[in-house]
Structure 1
Amino acid sequence: MTGTALTEYEIYLLSEERSANTIEKYIRDVRAFFTFLGNSELCKEIVLGWKEQLTRSYAPASVNSMLASLNSFLTWSGLPHLKVKPLKIQRDFYTKPEKELTHAEYGRLIRAAQKKQNDRLALLLQTICATGIRVSELKFITVDAMCTGRATVDCKGKTRTVFLPKELCRILRHYCKKQNIEKGSIFCTSSGTPLDRTNIWRDMKSLCKSAGVEPGKVFPHNLRHLFARTYYQLEKDLSRLADLLGHSSLTTTRIYTMESGIEHEKLLNRMNLVLAKK
């Protein structure tokens, strides 16, 4: 019965045009709940018990994400009365320094890839960071996009234009010429299929030691965050940045522009408003 319900729910998510990654996550979370449920009867107390267990094992944001998956399933199942409220999370104004990838660290990662003669990885890092695309959108960086300086990206049911800086196009052309890439996606395997996010993640992690960057900072999405922070520092236009990133909500975009607070600390020190006697 559970297997049938999950299959039907997956079909429903497909009909709602949810992305493949979203569907995979929702199904995984709901399956985890049913494992917790076991042979017990489905009731509000059981759902609350799962919420309590999640709270002991995961960060609040992860708990709320998993609860959202289950609540969606319960609504679809005609059991909205069993839904539970998410945890209340006070908004953070600053990121943790150990999670923020700096521009200098980004440069060291590129140089580390170049020293390993991994031109594809060095170029991939720069492509994500210079355009702000998601790692799943790399397949839209094609030879045609390189030639026009614009990529048409279709993600989560939304289409947007991503601009490629001239210098990025220049080094992409050099790479394509060297690798005899004449059409289609630029970042592919030897068989011609787009690179898998798991392989990209692994390759990036392999640079940490030689680049002198903490592994916790090195993952594809952090390059997207670096793009967002750099753009916002220059333009201070949150609405425009949301369009560039493909966000529907400015709340999401604000998360991308958060900094560690180091610059804020420097500003406070320059204000000279502490006048205590020596």
Structure 2
Amino acid sequence: MSKKTYDLTDKAIRRYALHLREQERAPATVQKYVQDLTALWDWLAGRPLTKAALIEWKESLSASRAPATVNSMLAAVNGFFRFMGWKGIAVKLLKIQKALFCDERRELTRAEYARLVSAAQKVGNERLSLVMQTICATGIRVSELRFITVEAVTTGRAEICNKGKRRTVFLPGRLRRLLRKYLQKQKKTAGAVFTTRTGRPLDRSNIWRDMKALCESADVEPSKVFPHNLRHLFARTYYSLEKDLSRLADILGHSSVNTTRIYTVESGGVHQRQLERMELIIT
């Protein structure tokens, strides 16, 4: 094993963050990469960075974090190494067996989604009710809500620009009618539909917090309640109707259908019911 050492510094991490921003990476992505690199820097505690030390860090992460989390952190530091031109230090990602079924404890059902929307309406949070319905009815990322504008509601389509890619997202007629009524109440004639009291677009933390507050009254497990799960529900519902993975990948803005497959994985309970309907037991 190579004993070559490298100097991981705060200055180098800042340079990499600047590079990522210049590559037009999403702000949340830049922040995560910086956090992952800082975690490695803190763990080293002044020691030089070597391949052996990196493998030790990987093992310590594996003992306390989920494999997918470990791999996302390793991918972040490997990307940094490529940027720095440091060869021979990158480590392999953990091998993760493909999950045949999703975890039912985290799968948001259509009925649970309906209860969340109803709970938001009952507490008078019309904005949250419409935010959830907008994400779930279009499949957009929560970070893409800012592209749902007054103009998009008028034309019935939103032009999304994210991760260096552009795509058109269509708004269903019923959603447009609800949003038009909301805009009339808010007296908005331009700009993003969903904003804070100061007029800034809603961010992930605003929506996450408000959704979690609905869990008890909606009788939905908190582990299932987060904005991205609405996007997953859209994907599963669309795929159950169309069975067109490539088309769904385009709608979701995925570069690879392998990512889209993750969104369409069904629960073991669904598979069990499918087996029962096959009626292949004769005696």
- Say which SS state the counterpart of residue 84 (structure 1) adopts: coil
Contact 1:55–1:63, Cα closer than 8 Å, also in 2: yes
Contact 1:71–1:80, Cα closer than 8 Å, also in 2: no
- Say which SS state the counterpart of residue 153 (structure 1) adopts: strand
Aligned to 2:99: 92
Counterpart selection for 2:23 from 16, 30, 51:
16
Counterpart selection for 1:216 from 223, 226, 239:
223
Residue 39 (structure 1) shift: 1.9
- TM-score normalised by the chain length of structure 2: 0.95
**Which 4+ runs in 1 deviate beyond 4 A?**
none
* Aligned AA (2:36): D
Q: Which of 15-24 and 91-100 deviates more?
A: 15-24
Q: Which of 173-182 and 231-240 deviates more?
A: 173-182
Percent of aligned pairs with the same amino acid: 57
Q: How does 1:71-220 map onto structure 2 within 5 Å?
A: 71-220=78-227
Structure-2 separation of matches of 1:193 and 1:15: 24
Aligned to 2:5: none
Q: Which of 225-234 and 9-18 deviates more?
A: 9-18
- TM-score normalised by the chain length of structure 1: 0.97
User: Unpaired segments of 5 or more residues in structure 2?
Assistant: 1-7
* Aligned AA (1:92): A
* Aligned AA (2:24): E
Contact 1:47–1:84, Cα closer than 8 Å, also in 2: yes
- 1:116-150 deviation digits (Å, cap 9, x = unpaired): 01111111110000000000010111111001100
Structure-2 separation of matches of 1:127 and 1:26: 29
Structure-2 separation of matches of 1:248 and 1:53: 32
Aligned to 1:65: 72
Structure-1 separation of matches of 2:109 and 2:185: 30
Contact 1:228–1:241, Cα closer than 8 Å, also in 2: yes
Q: Which of 169-178 and 11-20 deviates more?
A: 11-20
* Aligned AA (2:262): I
Residue 275 (structure 1) shift: 4.0
Aligned to 1:26: 33
Q: Which of 177-186 and 125-134 deviates more?
A: 177-186
Q: Which of 205-214 and 186-195 deviates more?
A: 186-195
- Say which SS state the counterpart of residue 119 (structure 2) adopts: helix
RMSD, aligned α-carbons: 1.1
Aligned to 2:269: 262
Q: Which of 181-190 and 106-115 deviates more?
A: 181-190
- 1:131-188 deviation digits (Å, cap 9, x = unpaired): 0000001011111100110000110111110000000000001111111111110100
- Say which SS state the counterpart of residue 248 (structure 1) adopts: coil
Residue 47 (structure 1) shift: 0.1
User: Unpaired segments of 5 or more residues in structure 1?
Assistant: none
Contact 1:151–1:163, Cα closer than 8 Å, also in 2: yes
Q: Which of 124-133 and 14-23 deviates more?
A: 14-23
- Say which SS state the counterpart of residue 124 (structure 1) adopts: helix
Structure-1 separation of matches of 2:138 and 2:278: 35
